[in-house]
Amino acid sequence: MTLIADHAQRYQLANELHARPFPFHSAPGMVAFLALKEPENAAQRDRSGDRKNLIELLDRFGAPHPKEDATHYFGDLGRFKLKWEAHTEFVTYTIFLNNLSEKPFDGICFDAFPKDWLESLSSLRITSVNLRLETMSDQENSSEIISKKLANWFVPESLAVSKVLDGSAVVASDFRIDEVGHQRFVLFVDPLTDERRVGRIIQRLCEIEMYKSMSMLGFSRVRSMARQMGNIDTELSHIMNDMNDGKVAAEVTLDNLLKVSTELETLSAAASFRLGATEAYEAIVHQRIRVLREERFKGRQTFSEFMMRRYDPAMRTVKSSRVRLGNLADRAIRAGDLLRTRVDVERSAQNQALLTSMDRRADLQLRLQKTVEGLSVVAISYYAVSLVSYLLYPLAENYSVTEGFLTSIITLPVVGLVYLMIRRVRSKML
């Protein structure tokens, strides 16, 4: 077989599809999920710092290090298993424990993270999940048993429960932060459900919470932008009114428009990444819920219904703010076009007035030129008559002609010749 040269990134791109495999876990057990993000005012995310924090954690348990350019890690640390993932904006740590504490959601699973290691982190917690796995009871009243547990563990008003993946498990959460600072999730697993499916459910639940929290950053951003966008909207309206009245000079209007456009462009540039990321995170949240294939449990609201009532309005606010920001930019562009048109019209009127004035001056100059030419004919004729008279005076004495009579005879011919000469010279110049 003839060897075919491979693209330089062929294997890298193919392996990317398998770079983040689902974990596998079994019930009963606990999962501690922690998502960390750099502060908003951080100049740039330190990816080398993320790897350094992971290595410090692994060294405490004598675990091997990941590859230099690794963006994920999964390893056995003795009492528990650790899954680490580095994303664009954040990094996540997931602890898997096979034992189950007697007191539900006591937070003991987070003790796997050394306290001094947590205190040394510069990143901030964007969310953390305390997930409890229990095995479904094979009793006929298992649904009632689950309902009683949920009533004791969660706030009924915001509780979302559903059967997932063809009834292989029941998932529940109230999406509230408990007194320890964690989001509570519980997963009741059918005994026949294999570990890989359980791992996929855990992964999707953690991703729902993680991307929900990240997308809510966009909602926080647009709320802080609302006042500024309102001020820009008002200023644009004032500028349009000034342009309509025509009482404000175009230079002043242009200066005001440039200030508003600069402020708007700065706001748009600062928010574009966050708004775009929010849209992507929202899509992931809904996609992760869809793949769970939810079924209603005991008449309670499902995860998708909870998101529709509590989460989607916030995302619609983000989308509307993004549209509003775009509309403001379009208004500023249209205002600039209108102002440019106004300036062009005013400039055309000024040019027309200037041309009219120039035509009037040219006409006056032509008339003045003709007047000067008439005077020039008289002046030149006067000197020409004098010169001709001096030439003919000697001859006039021989014929007994007086000087006055001679002058009167030659005046008209000389004036005519001078006039013809000046006219000929002018016609050659034109």
The β-bridge relationship of strands 183-189 and 124-135 is: parallel
pTM, rounded to two decimals: 0.78
Distance CA 274, CA 280 (A): 10
Q: What pLDDT does residue 288 have? A: 95
Kindly report, residue by residue over 105-161, the tens digit of the pLDDT. Answer: 988 999 999 999 999 998 999 999 999 999 988 776 789 999 999 999 999 999 999
Question: To the nearest whole number, what is the mean pLDDT of the chain?
Answer: 86
Q: How confident is the model at residue 429 (pLDDT cuts 50, 70, 90)?
A: low
- Among 185, 240, 176, smallest CA distance to 207 is for 185
Distance CA 153, CA 102 (A): 13
Kindly report, residue by residue over 9-41, the tens digit of the pLDDT. Answer: 888 778 777 766 778 888 899 999 999 998 876
DSSP characters over 142-186? HHHHHHHHHHHHS-GGG-EEEEETTTTEEEEEEEEE-TTS-EEEE
What are 93's strand-pairing partners?
A: 34, 84
Handedness of CA 66, 71, 76, 78 (dihedral sign): positive
Distance CA 134, CA 150 (A): 12
Of all residues in the chain, the percent with pLDDT exceeding 70 is 93
Write out the H or E segment, with its range, that includes residue 29.
Answer: strand 29-37
Q: Given a cut of 90, is residue 244 above it in pLDDT?
A: no
Q: Could you tell me if 171 and 189 are in contact, meaning their C-beta atoms sit under 8 angstroms apart?
A: no
- Tally of residues, the chain: 430
Distance CA 330, CA 317 (A): 20
Q: Given a cut of 70, is residue 372 above it in pLDDT?
A: no
Distance CA 256, CA 253 (A): 5
Q: What pLDDT does residue 336 have? A: 83
Q: Which two tokens stand for residue 405?
A: 């009579």
Greatest mean pLDDT among 126-140, 291-305, 362-376, 386-400 lies in 291-305
Q: What pLDDT does residue 199 have? A: 93
Greatest mean pLDDT among 35-44, 209-218, 252-261 lies in 209-218
Return the higher-pLDDT residue of 167 and 43: 167
Q: What pLDDT does residue 44 have? A: 58
Q: How confident is the model at residue 96 (pLDDT cuts 50, 70, 90)?
A: very high
Q: How confident is the model at residue 43 (pLDDT cuts 50, 70, 90)?
A: very low
Q: Given a cut of 60, is residue 264 above it in pLDDT?
A: yes
